[in-house]
Amino acid sequence: MKKLINSPEKLVVESTEGFVAAHADLVKAHFNPNYLARADAPVRGKVAIVSGGGSGHEPMHGGYVGAGMLDAACPGAVFTSPTPDQMYEAAKAVNGGAGVLLIVKNYTGDVLNFEMAADLLRADGVAVESALIDDDVAVKDSLYTAGRRGVGATVLAEKITGAAAADGLKLKEVANLCRKVNASARSMGIALTSCTVPHAGKPTFDLPDDEYELGIGIHGEPGRTRLKLEPADQIAGRMMEPIISDLPFKAGDEVLLFVNGMGGTPPLELYVLYRKALALAGQAGLKVTRNLVGSYMTSLEMAGASITLLKLDDTLKKYWDAPVKTPALRWGC
Question: Residue 296, interface with a second copy (CB under 8 A)?
Answer: no
**By CB under 8 A, is residue 18 in contact with a second copy?**
yes
Q: Under the criterion CB under 8 A, does residue 226 sit at the interface with a second copy?
A: no
Among 203, 293, 315, 317, binds a second copy (CB under 8 A): 293
Residue 199 appears among annotated catalytic residues:
no
Q: How far is the CB of 180 from a second copy (least distance, A)?
A: 25
Helix, strand or coil, per DSSP, at residue 2: coil
Using CB under 8 A as the binding rule, whether residue 254 contacts a second copy is answered as no
Q: How many residues bind a second copy (CB under 8 A)?
A: 61
* Stretch of 104-112, 168-176, 213-221, 263-271 contacting a second copy, by CB under 8 A: 263-271
Using CB under 8 A as the binding rule, whether residue 272 contacts a second copy is answered as yes
Check if the beta carbon of residue 161 is closer than 8 Å to that of residue 177. Answer: yes
Check binding of 19 to a second copy (CB under 8 A).
yes
Residue 261 to residues 68, 187, 242, 296: CA-CA distances in angstroms?
A: 23, 13, 19, 7
Among 15, 108, 176, 315, binds a second copy (CB under 8 A): 15
Residue 144 touches a second copy, criterion: CB under 8 A: no
Strand, coil or helix: what is 235? helix
- Dihedral angle of Cα 112, 113, 114, 116, to the nearest 10 degrees: 90
Q: Residue from 107, 144, 212, 319 that binds a second copy (CB under 8 A)?
A: 212
User: How many angstroms separate the most distant Cα atoms in the chain?
Assistant: 56
Q: Which among 8, 7, 37, 32 has a CA at the least distance from the CA of 20? A: 37
Nearer Cβ to a second copy, position 251 or 268? 268
Q: Shortest gap between Cβ of 195 and a second copy (angstroms)?
A: 9
Asked if 168 interacts with a second copy (CB under 8 A), we say no
Between CA 39 and CA 44 the distance in angstroms is: 13
In the list 47, 94, 178, 192, the residue contacting a second copy (rule: CB under 8 A) is: 192
Q: Among this protein's residues, is 57 annotated catalytic?
A: yes
275 binds a second copy (CB under 8 A): yes
Q: Are 198 and 11 in contact (CB under 8 A)?
A: yes
235 contacts a second copy (rule: CB under 8 A): yes
183: left (phi over 0), alpha (psi -120 to 50) or beta: alpha
Q: For residues 26 and 39, what is the distance between their CA atoms, to the nearest angstrom?
A: 5
- For every residue of 81-133, DSSP letters joined together read PPPHHHHHHHHHHH--SS-EEEEEES-HHHHHHHHHHHHHHHHTT--EEEEEE
| Distance set, CA 14 to CA 65, 75, 86, 107, 225 (Å) | 18, 12, 17, 26, 37
Which of 108, 269, 315, 318 is close enough to bind a second copy by CB under 8 A? 269
Contact residues: a second copy, CB under 8 A: 1-7, 11-12, 14-19, 21-22, 55-56, 58-59, 63, 78, 192-193, 209-210, 212, 229, 231-233, 235, 263-276, 278, 291, 293, 295, 298, 300-301, 303-305, 330-333
Catalytic residue positions? 57, 219
